[in-house]
Amino acid sequence: MERHIRSGGRITDKNAKHRMIRKIFSLAVVASTLLAACNGDKKQTATNTTQADIMQAKDLHTQSNADVVIMKHLDLDISVSFDKKQIAGYATWAIDNAKGEKSLKLDTYDLTIDSVWVDGKAGEYKLGDFVTHLGKQLDIPITATTKEVRIKYASGADATALQWLNPQQTHDKKQPFLYTQSESIYARSWIPCADGPGIRFTYSAKVTVPKGLLALMSAENPQQKNDSGIYHFVMDMPVPAYLMALAVGDIQFKEIDARTGVYAEPGMLAKARYEFEDVGKMVSTAEKLYGPYRWGRYDVLVLPPGFPIGGMENPKLTFCTPTIISGDRSLVNLIAHELAHNWSGNLVTNATWNDFWLNEGFTVYFERRLTEAMTDKSYADMLWELGYQDLQKSVDELGRTSKDTHLKLDLTGRDPDDGLTDIAYEKGALLLKLIENNVGREKMDAFLNQYFKEHAFKTITTEQFISYLNTNLIKGDSALAKKIDINAWVYGPGIPENAPRADHERFDKVDAARKGFINGTAPKDLATKDWTTHEWLHFLRKMPKPMTVDHMTALDAQFHFSESGNSEIADQWYVMAIAADYKAAYPAMEAFLSSVGRRKFI
């Protein structure tokens, strides 16, 4: 998932009580309106192991008791009403209460509970008091022999995971659209569940939607609409609640190859299919790096313009923003990131949100290794350098001695979204790059292959990872351990002194061109012909602040930044335009801001 703090902006409202995603959803709606005007037994063993780890991990962001009552399987039977803006129906949990607990405790957020059944008989329930960030605990009395709990419920108006779009807020402007965003702790707002990253379960679902619309989930998906509006789904590999996903809309499908494809609104489908031409090759390349892709199909759903994040790694079906549809395939490294999550995050998951770097740091490292394999080292080096710049900004904004710049976080009493910063992503990735530099790529890759294989469909804490690293890679080598100094990275602030830096060769050439321009070289005489998005970003980021209007005018006349179809370049340019009071860019900037909901751009 895309981080909150990236180049150009940080969400800083720490006093708001509503979820961060909810705020972004609201901004997205405003922007859109303006524009309109595996084997069951084997998998269950993995699930049991995962949930046992919760006791050690002490996940403070769930009020469930899934550490003692094992959540085996969820069966959903729900209906989607666009008129009511509501999901309603039944959630049936298959459980294992081997420890004889007297109640099943689940997470809810703004859910209305109608009734419950315990092993087919009417049961009792109690909703606890509202807890900030966490919602209300649902307490259902059970016995030692209870195998199944069925809950009739409906989502509320403040469901933090749900975004309802009217037709005018979609790309094609013909049908309404619904999508969910369950990470980090929003699944509880549309399903009564044990909502923690270390709690895995399989699921099946029957979803009824208005006729003429297609429903998709993080599961085995249909590839075309049916006449009934009733769709059935199966996810037979255990996943945590934050990877539960649903989308409903006027959606069509195009195949890329035998196991990959793209979903989008009809008016976006051809562009998306062109942009993602290499996704099948990307999956195969990822497998060569770190082992088999374990999830069957890998498809991508391009969401309407208001989607607030770059991408979300829902198993089998990545959700992504249309802002990466640039027409030249220059921004598809975002797909590399979400694909990499199918190893780091989806397959091996952080036990709690305090361990979030284990999801995202590993994924950024994997993404860059994958990008290097798909392109070359010099290209990946640019991503490493831009990431380092992002990390420096985040550390400066959070404070160089802030505990929020540690990899291992303490989010007690806080919204776990506070941890979605460049620290987890870039500092975490740099630690892995440092380890690679010290042990060599061959050993590093063997270690990561072993790590993904041995921890597949399980959860892991930071401390468990450090122990695993010491046992399987450091192996008592005190000199190597000292070179890495992992405690400084994990439990210390800021950017450690031994942080690696990438080769600057391509950016050195960009810097020379930038300095030439500042010293009087005409834009038409700059050697920019073969520049990629990342070279342009570096060129713009390093310009003096603020630029003069004359300099902005000259650059715009030659390179047409104000009309750029590349969202990353456009965003950087508009930030510069504001600082320079370059009014010629304002109409294009207004149109841009009115057409996107991605939080890094608004």
Q: Where are the domains of the chain?
A: 61-246, 343-491, 511-601
CATH of 343-491, one of 3.60.20.30, 3.40.50.300, 1.10.390.10, 3.90.226.30: 1.10.390.10
Tell me if 425 sits within 8 A of 350, measured CB to CB.
no
First-to-final CA distance of the chain: 17
Question: How much is the pLDDT for 402?
Answer: 98
Torsion of CA 286, 287, 289, 294, to 10 degrees: 100
Q: How distant, in Å, are the alpha carbons of 42, 318, 359, 502 from that of 386?
A: 42, 24, 20, 10
Of the ranges 4-8, 226-230, 361-365, 573-577, which one carries the lowest mean pLDDT score?
Answer: 4-8
- HSE-CB at 268 with a 13 A cutoff on CA atoms is 27
This prediction's pTM: 0.91
Cβ of 393: how many Cβ atoms within 10 Å?
Answer: 18
> What digits encode the pLDDT tens for the residues 503-543?
999 999 999 999 999 999 999 999 999 999 999 999 999 99
**Alpha helices (runs of H) in 316-461, residue ranges in sequence order:** 333-340, 357-374, 377-398, 422, 428-439, 441-454
Using CB atoms within 10 A of its CB, is residue 245 exposed (0-12), middle (13-18) or buried (19+)? buried
Q: CA–CA separation, 452 vs 563, rounded Å?
A: 44
Catalytic annotation, residues = 338, 425
Convert the pLDDT of each residue in 120-149 to its tens digit: 999 999 999 999 999 999 999 999 999 999
Structure tokens at 281: 């090759």
Mapped onto helix, strand or coil, the DSSP state of residue 193 is: strand
Task: Name beta bridge partners: 600.
Answer: none
Distances (CA, A) of 495 to 212, 391, 403, 424, 489: 52, 8, 12, 12, 8
pLDDT at 28 over 60: no
- 368: its two tokens: 């860059």
For 101-126, what is the mean pLDDT? 99
d(CA 214, CA 231): 8
Phi first, then psi: give them for residue 571, nearest 5 degrees: -60, -45
- Read off the pLDDT band of 2 (50, 70, 90): confident
Q: Which string of DSSP letters, residue by residue, matches 474-489?
A: ITT-HHHHHHH-HHHH
230 phi and psi, to 5 degrees?
-110, 125
Residue 46 has pLDDT above 80, yes or no: no
Give the side-chain half-sphere CA count within 13 A for 580. 25
For strand 260-264 and strand 298-302, is the pairing parallel, antiparallel, or unpaired?
parallel
Q: Is the pLDDT of residue 86 over 90?
A: yes
- Of 555, 566, 571, 573, residue with least CA distance to 516: 555
Is residue 28 within 8 A of residue 600, CB to CB? The reply is no
Angle, CA 416 vertex, CA 55 and CA 242 arms, to 5°: 70
Averaged confidence pLDDT in the chain? 92
Dump pLDDT digits (tens) for 8-22.
322 223 233 333 344
Q: φ and ψ at 578, to 5 degrees?
A: -65, -45
* The dihedral formed by the CA atoms of 513, 518, 519 and 520, expressed in degrees to the nearest 10: 90
Helix (H) or strand (E) holding 542: none
The percentage of residues in the chain with a pLDDT greater than 70, rounded to a whole number, is 91
The neighbouring-strand residues paired with 138 are 106, 127
Pairing of strands 112-118, 148-154: antiparallel
Give residue 57's pLDDT.
67
Distance separating alpha carbons of residues 486 and 494, to the nearest angstrom: 13
Answer for the pair 584, 553: CB distance below 8 angstroms, yes or no: yes
Burial 4-28 (b: 16+ CB within 10 A, else e): bbbbebebeeeeeeebbbbbbbebb
Domain 511-601 has CATH 1.25.40.320: yes
The pairing of strands 317-320 and 298-302 is parallel
CATH 1.20.950.20 describes domain 61-246: no
> 462: pLDDT confidence band, cut at 50, 70 and 90?
very high
